[in-house]
Copies of this chain bind each other. A is one copy, B any other.
Amino acid sequence: MVKYPNGIKRAIVSNKQSTINRGMNLEDDINLSNKYYLDYNIANIHKKPTPIQIVKVDYPKRSSAKIIEAYFKVASTTDYNGIYKGRYLDFEAKETNLKTTFPFSSIHQHQIAHLKNVIHHGAIAFFIIRFNYYNETYLVDASKVIELYDDINCKSIKYSWLQVNGFLIPYSLTPPVNYLKYLDINNKGDFYE
């Protein structure tokens, strides 16, 4: 499923930035990357399904139950988790069309609570944040983001802050967002290749 959410805008940006206009959203890129990690036995990381409250199901045939009334529920955790080098790994991925800030209103309070909790239990926890305007994707430690989030005066992540505190993940084809590589560098661990 290739999506072209901001095709024209991106084309312009990509000329400016000399990056590839791939026309894929962050979720698609991460799902492809996770499939790559799975296929090449590097890690086992999955996006959790969107939580749905099912109200009414129709059974025209037993084999093809049709949901005819359901509602989106608020997720109680982050979207992605899995295992990498024996470690539990947990992250949230977000993109913004803004130029200078990523607003904290895009992150739910319970996602922060969840990340704090898994860090307490020893998880590798981080955010992947994409600024669509620059076609740039960053990996940043969850603990650093949490520190900002807990500062009552701080309502957003500044792009300039992310440039200093995050790791820019260059776009590649295989996989599109090679975040595990930059996680290793960030943690001064061994790169998997």
In the complex, the answer to whether A49 meets B48 with C-beta atoms within 8 Å is: yes
In the complex, the answer to whether A121 meets B83 with C-beta atoms within 8 Å is: yes
B-contact 0/1 string along A44-81, CB 8 Å cutoff: 10101111101000000000111111111101110001
Measured as residues with beta carbon below 8 angstroms from the partner, the interface class of chain A is: 35 or more
Beta-carbon nearest neighbor of A87 in chain B: B88
Complex CA gap A89/B43 in Å reads 14
Asked if A65 meets B71 with Cβ closer than 8 Å, knowing A49-B51, A121-B86, the reply is yes
In the complex, the answer to whether B118 meets A83 with C-beta atoms within 8 Å is: yes
Complex CA gap A114/B51 in Å reads 21
B residues in contact with A44, CB < 8 Å: 114, 117-118, 121, 123
Asked if A49 meets B50 with Cβ closer than 8 Å, knowing A64-B71, A65-B72, the reply is yes
Asked if A120 meets B88 with Cβ closer than 8 Å, knowing A50-B52, A71-B66, the reply is no
**Chain A interface residues toward B at CB < 8 A:** 38, 41, 43-44, 46, 48-52, 54, 64-73, 75-77, 81-90, 114, 117-118, 120-123
Can you list 9 A-B pairs, Cβ within 8 angstroms, ordered by A? A38-B117, A44-B121, A44-B123, A48-B49, A49-B49, A70-B70, A85-B122, A87-B88, A88-B88
